[in-house]
Chain A
Amino acid sequence: MSGRDPEPGAEVPGPAPWLFLAPLLVFAAVFLILPLGFSVYLAFTRWNPLGTPSWVGMRQFEFLLTRDDDFLRSLANTFVFAVGFVVLVVPISLGLAFVFSRARGKAVWRSIYYLPQLTNIVAIAYLWQFVLDDRYGLINRMLGAVGLRGPDWLTDPVMAMVSVILVMVWYDAGKNMLVFSAALEGVDREIYEAAELDGASAWRTLRSITLPIIRPAAIFVTITSFITGMGFFALILAMTGGGPRGATDVTALYAYRMAFEDLRMGRASAAALILFALIAVLSLVQFRLLRERA
């Protein structure tokens, strides 16, 4: 009798667990594993959905990585967008969480800052287009009223990238603030009281007590924000369309256009796989670095 056999008299589980898991497994197979597998297959083919896929081996990857300047530029843009987003959103979310943890009516404040998450991203893009419009936008109108020429928020290549990063931070900060808020609420008050008795300053308390204790939350927020930044494109699609002159054309947007406007499913899948590999590697490196520091 092998070690895996049930003990005499023990109840055999039967098919019930599999039956209960079946909906989830079927869902995962249909909506995750099959599309992912098909996408991997497509990356090695040339296919538009009107015809049949033809096998081209590594040629899509070779083209993207050696000849397609637009794709390489989109990778650089993606990296700038993701890093810019993480660098801003993590401290801002933490700051908001910290301020609201001591504020009156903190639930109300947290709800207000979470509201952008409940709003349609396309509506957000259009809203900010009105606010940031070079000529008629609210910000430049206000600056103009005091005699200042505002930046070309959406028509200058550098400012357009800055604009989409800032709007993305505005959109996502509330969600991350909630994660930090939960972590801050979890810190034992007695530790703060002990530090206060020992005469620790507010800065020292933050640096030596709060931040080390909430470091798992910080790691989580940093990595998930980075992954979000690397793969996000809906806001950019609606707000700048990847322009001006490709300045905000990120890889996910490039792959979307390649697939659904240019009907190059093979090349789009290859681009998506390269992006997936980059996100996986960079997230792993990030996770290890942050964990080692912890």
Chain B
Amino acid sequence: MSRRTIPLAIGAAMAASAASAQDAPLQVAMHYTQEQAAPLIACIEAWDGGAAEYQQISYGDYLQTVLTGRLAGQSPDIYNVYGAVWGAQMVENGVLAPVPDDLEAFVRDGYAGGTVEAATIGGTLYGVPTEVSVYMLVSNMALLRETGFDAPPATWDELREMAEAVQTTNEQGRTDTAGFAFFQSGSGAGMVHPWYALTASEGGAPYGADGEVQLSSEAGQAALERMAGLVRDGIVDPTVDAYDAFPAGGAAMMIMANWYESAIEDGLGSLDDVVVSAIPMGEDWRTLQYAFFMGVDSGSDRQDDAWALVRHLNEPRDGEPSCVAQMLDGLGALTASAADTAALPTPDAFTQPYVDALAEDRVVSQPNVMQASEIERTMARTFEEVLAGEAEVGAALEDLNGEVEDILFEFQ
């Protein structure tokens, strides 16, 4: 091969590669299984804007898989991003493309404000909100009624009273039935998300408007004190994991998100005795929501097509819910789209209070900060130490504030 033919061959190969990228089907990467995403996959395959295919990436490996794919130059075109945990990092590193103007109007006009916020990073909208999760108090009324309570608690004092009344222990002093239980998760969400809800109900926020870390605010301390008080006063056994205990009928109350509905139903056999109610913080209760949003890779060769597909999947169809909403409804998950909410059948009794919380604007969004998973793990460790009596609320939150400031400092 002559010296002239080598550059020509490379050029031809690059042109072929670019052409091949243009011809390749759009990749839609989400964490739902093929079975869960079946309605969405049907819409993707039926799309008349070009070839597209669904790619499942497990939730736990999502970000790593995306990163590895980008390193290898094989990024998906469309992502389903957990805004508060992955969003800020993906934006900081230029992975996500901003939403085009026409789609931005569609989102801002048609979705709940708090959820639009969850897809907004640094003032820019990066996608169309998809699945929304909200935290509420979930009660096993069969257990509450056994101890003489006919309704879930409306205040924290009532929760303490009911939890104490329900709690039973066996001969070895182990909890048999828990009145209230925290749920344990490797990410720390089981501790941190209820704390966000309580802090919001106390009128506080974990971060100021300018991004200032204020975890040790009065509201934050009051929220953690409420959680720690349950353990300190023997009302809650921190070793009981609501994740297992509630569906097994071994816990009467927990603060949990709507996506756990099917597990509770599977465990208890039915939802007849399960009641979802407000965070028991009186009239001014607030709660936490977190949301996924569908965004497009900034390096996609077919960004316009990708955004068109995103719109196709999220736009209601002649009075019918959108493809995404149809899938979410099948999963018992929530959408924040007003049009989809109107087009979907009336939610069941379990889901309705979650929908109402969104509609009544009771929700605050999980903060979109850098290193969110690292920060939440650090927060959960601190909370666990306080609950175990190894640290005082005030001092622990002051230290935590410093640790989180350190984590965020390098991104300022």
Q: Name A's B-contacting residues (CB within 8 A).
A: 46, 48-51, 134-135, 140, 143-144, 147-150, 152, 155, 241, 243-246, 257, 260-264
Chain A to chain B contacts (Cβ below 8 Å), 20 pairs: A46-B410, A48-B89, A49-B68, A49-B71, A50-B93, A51-B93, A51-B94, A134-B174, A134-B239, A135-B240, A144-B172, A147-B172, A152-B239, A241-B186, A243-B384, A244-B388, A245-B388, A260-B64, A262-B371, A263-B67
CB <8 Å contact, B388 and A49: no
B378: nearest chain-A partner, CB-CB:
A70
B385 touches A245 (CB 8 A): yes
**A49 contact from B67, B371, B373, B410, Cβ within 8 A:** B67
Residue of B nearest to A241 (CB): B186
Q: Which of A46, A49, A261 contacts B70 (CB 8 A)?
A: A49
New A-B contacts (17) at CB < 8 Å, excluding given A48-B93, A149-B173, A155-B238? A49-B68, A49-B70, A50-B92, A50-B93, A50-B94, A51-B92, A51-B93, A135-B175, A143-B172, A144-B172, A147-B171, A147-B172, A148-B172, A261-B373, A262-B373, A263-B63, A264-B374
Q: Is the Cβ of A50 less than 8 Å from the Cβ of B90?
A: yes
A155 contacts across to B, CB distance below 8 A: 238-239
- Taking a contact as CB atoms closer than 8 A, the residue among A46, A147, A149, A261 that contacts B174 in the complex is A149
Q: Are B173 and A246 in contact (CB under 8 A)?
A: no
Cα A150 to Cα B238 in complex, Å, equals: 17
Q: Across the two chains, which residue of chain B brings its CB closest to A262?
A: B374
CB distance from B217 to the nearest CB of A (A): 24
Which residues on A sit within 8 Å (CB–CB) of B384?
243-245
Rounded to whole angstroms, the CA-CA distance of A138 and B90 in the bound complex is: 45
Distance A257 CA – B63 CA, assembled complex (angstroms)? 13
Q: Is the CB of A149 within 8 A of B89?
A: no
A258 — nearest CB in chain B belongs to which residue? B374
B170/A144 in contact, CB under 8 A: yes
| A50-B410 in contact (CB<8A) | no
CB distance from A148 to the nearest CB of B (A): 7
| Cβ contacts under 8 Å, A264 to chain B | 374
Whose C-beta in chain B lies nearest to the C-beta of A260? B64
**Nearest A residue to B176, CB-CB:** A135
Is B95 positioned at the interface, with any CB of A under 8 Å from its CB?
yes
- In the bound assembly, the distance between CA atoms of A241 and B371 in angstroms comes to 19
A51 to B93, CA, bound (A): 6
How distant is A256 from chain B, measured CB to nearest CB, in Å? 11
Say whether B23 faces chain A, with CB atoms less than 8 Å apart: no
Q: Does B53 contact A (CB under 8 A)?
A: no
Binary contact readout B210-249 vs A (1 if CB under 8 angstroms, 0 otherwise): 0000000000000000000000000000111000000000
**Closest B-chain residue to A150, C-beta based?**
B172
The reply to whether A245 and B170 contact each other, CB–CB distance below 8 Å, is: no
Q: Are A50 and B374 in contact (CB under 8 A)?
A: no
Which of A49, A147, A149 has the most chain B CB within a 10 Å cutoff? A49
- Give complex CA distance A175, B371 in Å: 41
Query: Which residues of B, 370-404, contact A by the 8 Å Cβ criterion?
Result: 371, 373-374, 377, 381, 384-385, 388, 390
CB contacts (< 8 Å) of A50 on chain B: these are 67, 70, 89-90, 92-95
Cα–Cα, bound, A144→B176 (Å): 13
A144: chain B residues at CB < 8 Å are 170-172, 174
* B94: A residues at CB distance < 8 A: 50-51
Q: Which of A50, A51, A140, A144 has the most CB of B within 10 A?
A: A50
Residue interface mask B167-187, A partner, CB < 8 A = 1: 000111111000000000010
Bound-state CA distance A9–B384 (Å) is: 79
Chain A nearest CB: distance from B342 CB in Å?
Answer: 38
Which 10 pairs between the two chains have the least Cβ-Cβ distance?
A50-B93, A149-B172, A262-B374, A155-B239, A49-B67, A241-B186, A51-B93, A245-B384, A260-B64, A144-B172
